[in-house]
Structure 1
Amino acid sequence: MISVIVPVYNVERYLEECLNSIQQQSYTDIEVILVNDGSTDHSKIICERYCEEDSRFYLLNQTNQGQSSARNVGVAASKGEFIAFVDSDDIIQKNYLEKLMQYMTEEVDIVESNFTVSKKDFLVENSKETTILFEGNSNEAVKIFPNHVLSVNPVTKLYRREIVESLPYPEGLIFEDIYCGIGMLKYIRKIIKIDYIGYYYRQHQTSTMHQDFSTKKLDVFTVCDKLVELYSDREELLPYIGSFLVHKATMHYQNDIKRGNPYAKFYNQKLAEYVNLTKKNPELARNTRFIKLYNICPKYYNSLIFPIYHFLWKLKNGVKEVEIEE
């Protein structure tokens, strides 16, 4: 059985669409754990209706404690051998769980699909043959992470239960996906990533990455440092984690830091730490684009070097800003 965990908080506008997509799955041996995280709109009433109509749906209510707590509570209450997370404003394809289960063999612990932030692309029927984009063990998965083949998202994946239980989501922090997304790879035997868009990820202006700066955004370094500590006993992998964190620190600086921000120096300090971590593997450092850019002029990397590079890269590749759904 697959346990589908759905944290719910003030999503009455999108909740029915999400729950319908779960209810209509072609793979039917499921239980759906809805964790109402203190919603103040009609989300709880909507959840109760689905539980009344479908015996596979269960509702847990708690005071508002955040998405990490809701996920952990849902996992603790679930009974399935496999676990999938679905955010309550997102949608999954009708054959999403069935497709992931096809690749969940005895030695596989995580199967990951692609996702899209374009609802138009999601709704287009995808009839092409599914292929494997990546298949590897724990070490291979961590080493490929800087290439962005795999995602840190809790969603878009089917997990063997023991993997999720091995690393609960840190509560009281944002950017917890960075910690668990890579941290869980420490405990797997094999992960498979398939070329299949099974998940629609809805973006909002209210999402963390689109909000104005607050000191809460410094949590990104707390979870990054926790990740480095988690892998401290596997030193050969730390440079690869460092390479990924250089990318994260760079992009968070670009999104968060405006002129005069008092935390700019701190961002640069953490970036330097992650750069040094990557340099413990000289070959990796030489072949990492962000490290090469950083070495041009570390002092002005965030304020000048990277913004120019990123502008030219977007111009060359015709990249436009992602449309955000209000």
Structure 2
Amino acid sequence: MELPLLSIIIPVYNTEEYLTDCLNSLVSQMKQRVEIILIDDSSVDKSWSICKKYEKKYDYIHVFQQRHSGLSAARNFGIQHAKGNYISFIDSDDFVSKQYLDRIFNILVKTQPDMLVFNYAYQYKKCTKASSEYKNWNTGMISKKSVIRTLTNSSYAWNKVYSRHLFKKVCYPVGQYYEDVNTTFKLVNLSQNIFYIDEVLYFYVQRTNSIVNMPSLKKAEDNLLANLELFKFLNENSYKDAARYQRSRLTILSFYYCLKYGTKNRIQFDKAKEMYINGEIPDNTPMSLRISINLCKKVPQAIYALIIITSIKRGIKHWKI
């Protein structure tokens, strides 16, 4: 039996409302030499039942269930069980275009790149908005340098296809949020040939109850640490413009971290305070925020006053509710 050319890995966790649409967008265009691997992360809704239903109906769908370990663990598990020469990822609450497999297969067969990148769109309830991240690119081979410059805003795993050999040296960090930010630059850096398709092939569904939109102290800390790793890579490898932009993003991330979580983690708080005090403020920063940051740069103790003010505001808001 011929091995798959492409393994599509879909981590699943409590997405019963979206999972059927996600899978239907794929099975409606399936080709030979493609497998779909579903890894259920111990969902407590009907997601696992949906996975089993599709496995029973389609012989190219393989389902697994793991103890609740997070997105990174699910992706790593899928990679270990993948048989394809290439690997792609889809989030179970998103969906793909009707041309997804046709466009990808055509390039993989003809060009055999180490990595394939394509455009994506944000899917809102009432509209769809294509990403402008790659607005100056045309379909064809693209330089590694060009791709790396986009990672400050678009480190997503799901708008790329990867040669399987890239994962011999790279895996997703288990137990961490913003795992894409901490991983994608490593995969791009290992790639020698990268092809870009100037077409929206993936739809990133925007929902208020997604993991990304549910803030927590750990998510804020992981966000800082992942973006710091990306900055270090850009800075050490002479991507000067991207490194400068990434450093300014860290200034804002650090400032917000201090305001929202105060001194709950003293070590991380001190690191964040140092990052925003020593960093540049992005040009598009609102004036009120710019004034606040500049004040804290000149008088670092001022951050404590702002923490108290924001804490009181949050307390009043909570009390009113």
Q: TM-score, normalised by structure 2?
A: 0.73
Residue 110 of structure 1 deviates from its aligned partner by 2.4
Task: Output one character per residue of 1:3-56: Cα deviation in whole Å (capped at 9) or x when no partner.
Answer: 000001111121111111121125443100000111112111111111111000
> Do residues 2 (structure 1) and 3 (structure 2) align?
no
Residue 297 of structure 1 deviates from its aligned partner by 9.1
Residue 107 of structure 1 deviates from its aligned partner by 4.1
CA contact (8 A) 2:39 2:65 kept: yes
Which residue does 2:228 correspond to in 1?
A: 225
> Do residues 113 (structure 1) and 119 (structure 2) align?
yes
Equivalent residue letter for 1:140: S
CA contact (8 A) 2:9 2:89 kept: yes
Q: Quick one: which of 84, 87, 94 aligns to 1:90?
A: 94
Identity %: 24
Task: Output one character per residue of 1:63-102: Cα deviation in whole Å (capped at 9) or x when no partner.
Answer: 0000000000001100111111011111111211221333
- SS of 1:52's equivalent? helix
Q: TM-score, normalised by structure 1?
A: 0.72
Equivalence map 1:173-212=2 (5 Å): 173-212=176-215
Tell me how large the CA RMSD over aligned residues is. Answer: 3.5
Residue 196 of structure 1 deviates from its aligned partner by 1.6
Distance 1:21 1:123 in 2: 19
Q: Quick one: which of 21, 37, 42 aligns to 1:38?
A: 42
Which residue does 1:69 correspond to in 2?
A: 73
Distance 2:116 2:72 in 1: 19
Equivalence map 1:133-282=2 (5 Å): 135-145=141-151, 148=153, 151-228=154-231, 234-237=236-239, 240-247=242-249, 249-250=251-252, 253-254=255-256, 258=259, 261-262=262-263, 266-271=271-276, 275=280
- SS of 1:41's equivalent? coil
Distance 2:17 2:293 in 1: 46
Q: 1:212 to 1:121 in 2, by over 3 A?
A: closer
Which runs of no fewer than 5 residues in structure 1 stay unpaired? 125-130, 276-284, 303-326
Residue 160 of structure 1 deviates from its aligned partner by 1.6
Q: 1:121 to 1:98 in 2, by over 3 A?
A: farther
Q: 1:213 to 1:8 in 2, by over 3 A?
A: closer
Residue 260 of structure 1 deviates from its aligned partner by 8.0
Which residue does 1:132 correspond to in 2?
A: 138
